[in-house]
Amino acid sequence: RGFDAGNGKPCVLVTGGTHGYETSGVQGALLFAAKEMKKYANIFNIAVCPCVSPWSYECIQRWNPKTIDPNRNYVADSLAE
């Protein structure tokens, strides 16, 4: 389900899996989405991206296939994709 970022509620982004070897973040984001998110939906616009770097998660690596650390490249037009 989507949300309207212009509805006046603060926006929250929940992420996991930025570094593939940190697998608990993916599980935590999924658990939050399944069990807790509804409690906060009236207060916040919430987006959940449980696995920021799926290749890294599958390969249990810190970097993406281009050996770029996604956590160090949260900028526009980043090569991290």
Measure the CA–CA gap between 62 and 80, rounded to whole angstroms.
12
Any residues with CB less than 8 A from the CB of 13 and at least 6 apart, and which?
46, 47, 48, 49
Look at the chain and count its residues: 81
pLDDT, tens digit (0-9, with 9 covering 90-100), for 26-77:
999 999 999 999 999 999 999 999 998 899 999 999 888 888 888 888 778 8
Task: Give the CA diameter of the chain.
Answer: 40
User: What pTM value is reported for the model?
Assistant: 0.81
Q: How many other β-carbons are positioned within 10 Å of the β-carbon of residue 30? A: 16
